[in-house]
Amino acid sequence: MTELKGEKRSSKTSSKSLQTSAEEYEFGGPVGVSLMMLGFPCLMYYFWFSLNYHQGKLFYPASLEDVLPFFNRLNQYFWDSAAPTTFGFAVYSIYAVLSAFLTAILPGPRIEGLPIPSEGGKTLWYTCNGVTYLYSLIPFSFALHYFNIFRLTEIIDHFGEIMTAAIVWGFVVTFTTYFLTVTFGKPHRLSGSFIYDVFMGATLNPRLGPLDLKMWAEIRVPWVVLFYISVSCAVKQYELNGYVSSTQAFMVVAHFLYVNACQKGEECIPTTWDIFYEKWGFMLIFWNLAGVPFTYCISSIYLYKMGPVQWSTTYTVFCYVLLLAAYYAWDTTNSQKNKFRMQMRGNYLPRWTFPQLPWSVLKNPRYIKTEQGGCLLTDGWYRYARKFHYTADLFMALSWGLITGFTSFLPYFYLSFFIVVLVHRVTRDNERCAKKYGKDWEKYVKTVPHIFIPYVF
Ligand code: NDP
């Protein structure tokens, strides 16, 4: 095992105020978060019913008189295609427990997280075994499929049931974590509103022995489950038609790229905003355990339900090129900043995880040394825009929609939702960084004036 040197204490605990200050309401406060907690699961069911019963089209009551029958139909859809079952719970729970167990025991390089101000500057260590995990899981799961122990097609055949299990897991883990933290633990930055604190979370870095729950939920569940939903659709299509269409294969490639990126660059994650600052509440727990895998998969299910969809070679090649080009920009932008930060801290460790793309690491880049101690990169992609990785991520999301054609809005839901999420994230991040870096942030914004599109916006 390789130990990486930790964060230099020079960055000190200067974000102390951010860590310990009382919580200010975001997301519309208690009312807004209550609506989100009720709305997310409803939306997930609505999408599933649309895909399963309405060819992915939006459906609604035909008239005022149809409102009650409409809800009766939804109720029937639920019991027919998403009711809780032992099988659904077994599939999801076995995966959740197995992934947690393997994450806790597999070897990998170790990296030290940022000092936690509320813990007196204490740091936590993270074992980065994502690549070992993913590359063991894929052959293992195909062996289960081949020997008929667990057919991968079961995932799409029992999609609604498994999604219900994920939703229940999301709520149970959220409330259990909250109550355990306020009863026995050390709550962080509580607002005083019960529902708001459940949504944002009470605990910062919950651990079960060697298992960091937030890291596990962030990268071992959502993207892996998402990838397997797409694989399941492709395998099912193969069984039904004897081949996998170029469009269905596209989604497997797209989701493989995403899940692989999260595992291969895992050493960069402990210092991200989600791990360092966000608490582990409904927002992260539910979205990671249920929301991401069961809504970001819409394009895969849409394509599977429509039967093997093939476009002209030119259009298909265009979609693939868009995906790969956006992936390249996304991967290298994230990599340039994260590796720059690790180099400045003295804990950079070159890794040979696949793929290491050209221009991932900058040599002698330009940057702004801040009074706070940290450094802001102004070179590479960061010379042109402050959030170019968000733009690239959005183009990947666009390609996930384009590959399905233009007959339904649903495959474009992810793109639409993601635009809202990322614009909100930019605002939050900008406010936080302006507070943290003061005048140096102003200088940075002047040096790199554009956010998403170089020379434009
Ligand atoms: P960023 O990777 O942009 O990280 C923001 C932080 O990086 C800032 O708070 C600051 O932290 C530091 N920073 C900002 N600019 C610079 C700079 N020029 N030089 C050095 N450090 C800088 O944001 P996210 O964590 O939101 O996103 C990471 C990736 O995850 C993105 O590619 C995004 O698209 C993706 N993502 C995907 C989601 C999905 O659902 N698919 C959801 C959310 C994100 P500090 O205070 O430590 O300096």
Q: pLDDT tens-digit profile of 114-173?
A: 888 777 888 899 999 999 999 999 999 999 999 999 999 999 999 999 999 999 999 999
Phi-psi region of 242 (alpha: psi -120 to 50; beta: other; left: phi over 0): left
Q: Are 356 and 339 in contact (CB under 8 A)?
A: no
For residue 433 and ligand 1, the question of a CB distance below 6 A is answered with yes
pTM of the predicted structure, to 2 decimals: 0.94
CA of 387, closest atom in ligand 1: 3
| 201 part of a folded domain | yes
Question: 247 and 221, same structural domain?
Answer: yes
Is the pLDDT reported for residue 27 higher than 70? Answer: yes
| 41 part of a folded domain | yes
> Which residue's C-alpha comes closest to atom 21 of ligand 1?
376
Question: 235 and 170, same structural domain?
Answer: yes
Q: Which of 288, 294, 429, 451 to mutate to test the pocket of ligand 1 (most atoms within 8 A of CB)?
A: 429
Last residue of a domain, one of 308, 331, 366: 308
What are the tens digits of pLDDT across the range 228-239? 999 999 999 999
Tokens 């959220």 correspond to 174
CA of 274, closest atom in ligand 1: 25
Q: Are 311 and 248 in contact (CB under 8 A)?
A: no
Give the mean model confidence (pLDDT) for residues 322-341: 96
Question: 239 and 161, same structural domain?
Answer: yes
| 56 part of a folded domain | no
Q: How far is the CA of 97 from the centre of ligand 1 (A)?
A: 29
Question: 182 and 317, same structural domain?
Answer: no
Last residue of a domain, one of 260, 286, 308: 308
Q: How far is the CA of 85 from the centre of ligand 1 (A)?
A: 39
CA of 389, closest atom in ligand 1: 32
Q: DSSP H helical segments within 54-111, as ranges?
A: 67-81, 86-105
For residue 424 and ligand 1, the question of a CB distance below 6 A is answered with no
- How many distinct structural domains can be found in the chain? 2
Q: Are 394 and 418 in contact (CB under 8 A)?
A: yes
Residue 21: per-residue pLDDT: 47
How far apart are alpha carbons 334 and 436 in whole angstroms?
Answer: 21
Last residue of a domain, one of 308, 324, 348: 308
Q: Are 91 and 162 in contact (CB under 8 A)?
A: yes
Question: 222 and 341, same structural domain?
Answer: no
CA distances from 421 to 248, 281, 288, 390, 417 (A): 26, 17, 14, 10, 6
Q: How far apart are the first and last CA of the chain?
A: 44
Sign of the alpha-carbon torsion through 164, 167, 171, 173: positive
Phi, psi of 126 (to 5 degrees): -125, 135
Q: Are 207 and 181 in contact (CB under 8 A)?
A: no
Question: 221 and 167, same structural domain?
Answer: yes
What are the tens digits of pLDDT across the range 288-308? 999 999 999 999 999 999 999
Question: 333 and 322, same structural domain?
Answer: yes
Within 10 A of 424 (CB to CB), how many other CB atoms are there? 12
Question: 139 and 278, same structural domain?
Answer: yes
Q: How confident is residue 22, by pLDDT bands cut at 50, 70 and 90?
A: low
| 89 part of a folded domain | yes
Within 10 A of 430 (CB to CB), how many other CB atoms are there? 15
Tokens 């880049």 correspond to 365
Q: How far is the CA of 272 from the centre of ligand 1 (A)?
A: 7
| 360 part of a folded domain | yes
How far apart are alpha carbons 229 and 153 in whole angstroms?
Answer: 9
For residue 372 and ligand 1, the question of a CB distance below 6 A is answered with no
Residue 12: per-residue pLDDT: 38
Q: Which of 288, 342, 389 to mutate to test the pocket of ligand 1 (most atoms within 8 A of CB)?
A: 389
Determine what percent of the chain is predicted with pLDDT higher than 90. 86
How far apart are alpha carbons 174 and 152 in whole angstroms?
Answer: 29
| 449 part of a folded domain | yes
Its domain, for residue 444, covers: 311-457
Question: 263 and 145, same structural domain?
Answer: yes
Question: 283 and 342, same structural domain?
Answer: no
For residue 338 and ligand 1, the question of a CB distance below 6 A is answered with no
Is the pLDDT reported for residue 374 higher than 80? Answer: yes
Environment class of residue 198 by beta-carbon count within 10 Å: exposed (0-12), middle (13-18) or buried (19+)? Answer: buried
| 225 part of a folded domain | yes
| 7 part of a folded domain | no
Give the mean model confidence (pLDDT) for residues 436-452: 97
Question: 387 and 328, same structural domain?
Answer: yes
Q: Which of 7, 114, 272 to mutate to test the pocket of ligand 1 (most atoms within 8 A of CB)?
A: 272
Question: 215 and 92, same structural domain?
Answer: yes
Average pLDDT, the chain: 93
For residue 267 and ligand 1, the question of a CB distance below 6 A is answered with no
CA distances from 275 to 267, 269, 423 (A): 12, 7, 20
